[in-house]
Amino acid sequence: MKRMIAKVAGVSAAAMTMALVPLAGTSYAAGCNAAGCDNLGPVSQGCDGDAVTKASTVNGNGFKAELRWSNACQAGWVRATSPSGSQWWARYGSIEKWGGYGTDFKRSLTVQFPYEAGADWSNMLGGGTFYYRVCINDNGTVNCSNFW
């Protein structure tokens, strides 16, 4: 009888553990989609997993802005990368959302370039039917990528 109770308890514990642990290869759905991603974080929403760079620009001081796009979320953001020895004041990367190719501006989001060498990113702007570009504002001098 004790042996039977131990087996039942062991099987129950194993079943509970399996229910709580996701299987390998399980994919998680994105936390937002299209314009529902506006001003949400790409990492917190699970949009960074399939992200690719669609456009970028680099200025003469070595600052780089990349338009990162997630097909799963239908949203993009700017990844701002600072060169080594950089200074962060008055330097921003931005993503812009347009209704047309350079017309009908919708909105933009910015992120300050990191103080040291490295990268940071903005929140997202979404919707697959819009045009996007990223820009670098370096002490008032603005460089932008092509529209995507």
Query: Is residue 52 situated within a structural domain?
Result: yes
Q: Which domain holds residue 114?
A: 34-144
Query: CATH no. for residue 71?
Result: 2.60.40
* 3-state class (DSSP) for residue 15: helix
Cα(6)–Cα(10) distance, integer angstroms: 6
- Average pLDDT over the chain, rounded to whole? 84
User: CB-based contacts of 44: which residues, under 8 Å, 6+ apart?
Assistant: 31
Nearest Cα residue to 66 out of 51, 76, 74, 55: 55
Q: CA distances (Å), 40 to each of 16, 44, 66, 129, 132, in order? A: 34, 8, 18, 19, 17
pLDDT band at 126 (very low <50, low <70, confident <90, very high): very high
Query: Is residue 6 situated within a structural domain?
Result: no
pLDDT band at 90 (very low <50, low <70, confident <90, very high): confident
Q: Is 59 exposed, middle or buried (0-12, 13-18, 19+ CB in 10 A)?
A: middle
| Entry pTM | 0.78
User: Is residue 82 within 8 Å of residue 118, measured between CB atoms?
Assistant: yes
Q: Count how many domains the chain has.
A: 1
Over residues 80-87, mean pLDDT: 84
Query: Is residue 19 situated within a structural domain?
Result: no
Query: Is residue 4 situated within a structural domain?
Result: no
Over residues 101-116, mean pLDDT: 94
Query: Is residue 66 situated within a structural domain?
Result: yes
Describe the chain by its helix, strand, coil percentages, rounded to 5: 15, 40, 45
Query: Is residue 70 situated within a structural domain?
Result: yes
